[in-house]
């Protein structure tokens, strides 16, 4: 017994030594890399590099054409100067605000209709939509054993990582995974769209039960329910939700479904699809891209930033205290030290992101009905002061509109939807856009995407190891 104990403690000490050696090694190498791997900004300018695939005026380099979605955030005057305008977003030529408003007016669900529109390029008739919903309904249940073998056995703190792994694992459950014909990719797309609600909800339940020590609830999806209803059913321990909650979630899904070809995750879909790879690999890559806090992960980053703000601002009704906090954020002295105010700024939108306006309207109503006006005011303050504070700190005039991620987290919180699930909800909505773009890449892109990097490392003579 005592021999065993000694062996155990010696092994433990060895492990601790090895880990601290590894840590010291990585720290020292990281310091070196941070010094040696830098390429001066001047070289990027001299070699006319389209850094971040952007032109000098911040507009994106045109790398493709698409009919799926269009994002408009600026225009040019006759002299070629960029002019800020209110943002517009079109799904297959239809203004997303019209789709949103029609669903509100008619008090109905619209996400499935939007998915049909994005995939097939036209609005469905009633019977086409009913048939489509039945088809999606038949794909809600995960393959037999999938939840047990692929989700519950390896829970993750990040539901997005779990989701990417689940998407990759779906390959093994497909009898014809590598066929990239349009017909087969469409079949795979419908299957993934149907399965995503269960993948994210069960990924979340696995996390709750494994890391928060809470009871495991795996409610089965119901084919007749909409995407939003199934998500709420599978997320909530009791499986209960109200019609208003489900319709608000549905509106948010509509707003997140598509954003042109150039956003990071959709571009990832195009890029990876252009190599001819399978649907699961392409969609897993898109999930990975969306997770980043500069992209879809910003909705969770906003909530984390708010949490930090609440801990560091004594009185959240005091605007000058909030302002001091935001200045610290911009100086990289508060929150995650990135210098970013999450939920603000956009690659295309200048004055406004139409989705943020609609989500803000939802957030305001929820704030009023749930007594969350003070918290809502903090968001509004950040939105209204972001650009001015950025100018104060950086000396640069930069449009900083509220983007889609600023108010979505507030809406989810008010709907009692867990923070962890905010980016996975974005993924569930955007999957429709990704699939439509993957199909478009296969049908009409047809070129391996392969940009160029200029080599700037001087050539060196190889030195044999004994001479170094
Ligand atoms: C679904 C979506 O993806 S919406 C976007 C969600 N992302 C966020 O909310 C994160 C915060 N915002 C940002 O990081 C940026 O605004 C982006 C990445 C979304 C768009 O950035 P762009 O305006 O296209 O330009 P870019 O990333 O080149 O930024 C230009 C400068 O403005 C700064 N900047 C841009 N937005 C912000 C912000 N919200 N807070 C602080 N600084 C910002 C950048 O740090 C950069 O500074 P630098 O030149 O000193 O490095
Ligand atoms: O277009 C972008 O760069 C980011 C964005 O708003 C989205 O993907 O919804």
Residue with token string 């199909």? 439
Measured from the Cα of 426, ligand 1's closest atom is 1
The pLDDT of residue 347:
97
Nearest CA to ligand 1 atom 19: 346
Question: What is the percentage of the chain residues whose pLDDT exceeds 90?
Answer: 95
* pLDDT reading at 1 higher than 60: no
Q: Residue 74: beta bridge partners?
A: 84
Residues 310 and 203 in one domain: no
Residues having CB closer than 6 A to ligand 1 are: 52, 58, 294-296, 298, 330, 339-347, 390, 398, 403-405
Residue 353 is part of a domain; what is its CATH number? Answer: 1.10.230.10
Tell me which H or E stretch contains 415. Answer: none
The torsion region of residue 458 among left (phi > 0), alpha (psi -120 to 50) and beta comes to: beta
Residues 284 and 331 in one domain: no
- Lowest mean pLDDT, pick from 14-23, 91-100, 356-365, 376-385: 14-23
Residues 116 and 205 in one domain: yes
- Centre of ligand 1 from the C-alpha of residue 375, in Å: 24
Q: Are 94 and 354 in contact (CB under 8 A)?
A: no
Residues 238 and 374 in one domain: no
Residues 404 and 313 in one domain: yes
CA distance 24 to 37: 19
**Cβ 150 under 6 angstroms from ligand 2:** no
Question: What is the percentage of the chain residues whose pLDDT exceeds 70?
Answer: 99
Residues 125 and 254 in one domain: yes
- Centre of ligand 1 from the C-alpha of residue 56, in Å: 15
pTM of the model: 0.96
Residues 288 and 302 in one domain: no
Q: Are 256 and 425 in contact (CB under 8 A)?
A: yes
The pLDDT of residue 17:
82
Is 357 inside a domain boundary? Answer: yes
Is 81 inside a domain boundary? Answer: no
Ligand 1 pocket, mutate which of 52, 345, 351 (most atoms under 8 A from CB): 345
**Cβ 347 under 6 angstroms from ligand 2:** yes
Nearest CA to ligand 2 atom 8: 263
ipTM, two decimals, is: 0.98
Residues 108 and 245 in one domain: yes
DSSP string, 113-146: HHHHHHHHSSPPPHHHHHHHHHHHHTT-SPPTTH
Nearest CA to ligand 1 atom 40: 340
Nearest CA to ligand 2 atom 4: 263
pLDDT one-digit tens code per residue, 212-247? 999 999 999 999 999 999 999 999 999 999 999 999
Averaged pLDDT score across all residues of the chain: 96
Nearest CA to ligand 1 atom 25: 347
Ligand 2 pocket, mutate which of 400, 404, 436 (most atoms under 8 A from CB): 404
Residues 340 and 427 in one domain: no
CA nearest to 304, candidates 211, 422, 165: 422
Q: Among the three residues 377, 395, 414, which one is the final residue of a domain in this structure?
A: 414
Structural domain boundaries enclosing 409: 298-414
Domain count, the chain: 2
Q: Are 370 and 412 in contact (CB under 8 A)?
A: no
Measured from the Cα of 266, ligand 2's closest atom is 8
Is 35 inside a domain boundary? Answer: no
- Centre of ligand 2 from the C-alpha of residue 164, in Å: 19
The pLDDT of residue 10:
80
Q: How confident is the model at residue 301 (pLDDT cuts 50, 70, 90)?
A: very high
Is 248 inside a domain boundary? Answer: yes
List, by residue number, the catalytic residues.
346, 405
Measured from the Cα of 265, ligand 2's closest atom is 8
**Cβ 259 under 6 angstroms from ligand 2:** yes
Residues 111 and 238 in one domain: yes
Residues 165 and 256 in one domain: yes
- Lowest mean pLDDT, pick from 6-10, 41-45, 127-131, 206-210: 6-10
pLDDT one-digit tens code per residue, 174-195? 999 999 999 999 999 999 999 9
The pLDDT of residue 2:
65
pLDDT one-digit tens code per residue, 353-404? 999 999 999 999 999 999 999 999 999 999 999 999 999 999 999 999 999 9
Residues 167 and 268 in one domain: yes
Q: Which ligand is nearest to the CA of 261?
A: 2
């Amino acid at each position: 017994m005592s021999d065993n104990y000694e062996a155990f403690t010696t092994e433990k000490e060895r492990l601790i030594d090895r880990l601290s050696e590894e840590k010291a090694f990585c720290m020292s190498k990281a310091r070196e890399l941070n010094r040696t791997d830098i390429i001066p900004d001047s070289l990027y300018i001299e070699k006319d590099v389209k850094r971040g695939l952007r032109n000098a005026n911040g507009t994106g380099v045109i790398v493709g054409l698409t009919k799926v979605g269009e994002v408009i955030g600026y225009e040019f005057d006759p002299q070629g100067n960029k002019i800020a305008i209110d943002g517009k977003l079109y799904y297959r030529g239809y203004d997303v605000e019209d789709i949103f408003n029609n669903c509100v007016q008619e008090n109905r669900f619209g996400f499935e209709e939007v998915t049909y529109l994005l995939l097939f390029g036209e609005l469905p008739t009633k019977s086409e939509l009913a048939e489509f919903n039945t088809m999606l309904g038949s794909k809600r249940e995960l393959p037999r054993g999938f939840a047990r073998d692929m989700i519950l056995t390896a829970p993750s703190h990040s539901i997005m990582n779990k989701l990417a792994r689940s998407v990759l694992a779906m390959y093994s459950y497909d009898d014809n995974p590598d066929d990239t014909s349009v017909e087969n990719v469409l079949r795979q797309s419908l299957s993934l769209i149907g399965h995503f609600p269960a993948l994210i909800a069960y990924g979340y339940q696995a996390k709750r039960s494994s890391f928060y020590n809470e009871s495991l609830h795996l409610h089965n999806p119901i084919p007749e329910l909409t995407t939003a209803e199934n998500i709420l059913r599978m997320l909530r321990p009791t499986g209960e939700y109200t019609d208003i909650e489900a319709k608000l979630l549905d509106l948010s899904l509509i707003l997140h479904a598509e954003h042109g070809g150039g956003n990071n995750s959709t571009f990832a879909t195009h890029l990876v699809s252009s190599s001819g790879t399978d649907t699961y690999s392409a969609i897993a890559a898109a999930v990975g891209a969306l997770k980043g806090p500069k992209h879809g992960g910003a909705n969770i980053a906003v909530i984390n930033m708010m949490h930090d703000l609440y801990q560091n601002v004594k009185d959240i009704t005091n605007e000058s205290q909030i302002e001091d906090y935001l200045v610290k954020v911009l100086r990289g002295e508060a929150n995650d030290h990135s210098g970013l105010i999450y939920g603000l700024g956009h690659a295309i939108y200048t004055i406004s992101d139409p989705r943020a306006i609609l989500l803000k309207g939802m957030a305001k109503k929820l704030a009023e009905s749930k007594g969350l006006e003070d918290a809502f005011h903090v968001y509004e303050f950040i939105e209204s002061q972001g650009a001015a504070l950025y100018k104060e700190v950086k000396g640069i005039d930069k449009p900083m509109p509220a983007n889609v991620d600023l108010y979505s987290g507030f809406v989810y919180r008010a709907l009692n939807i867990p923070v962890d699930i905010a980016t996975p909800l974005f993924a569930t909505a955007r999957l429709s856009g990704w699939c439509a773009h993957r199909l478009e890449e296969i049908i009409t892109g047809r070129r391996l995407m392969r940009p160029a990097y200029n080599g700037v490392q001087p050539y060196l003579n190889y030195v044999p190891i004994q001479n170094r």
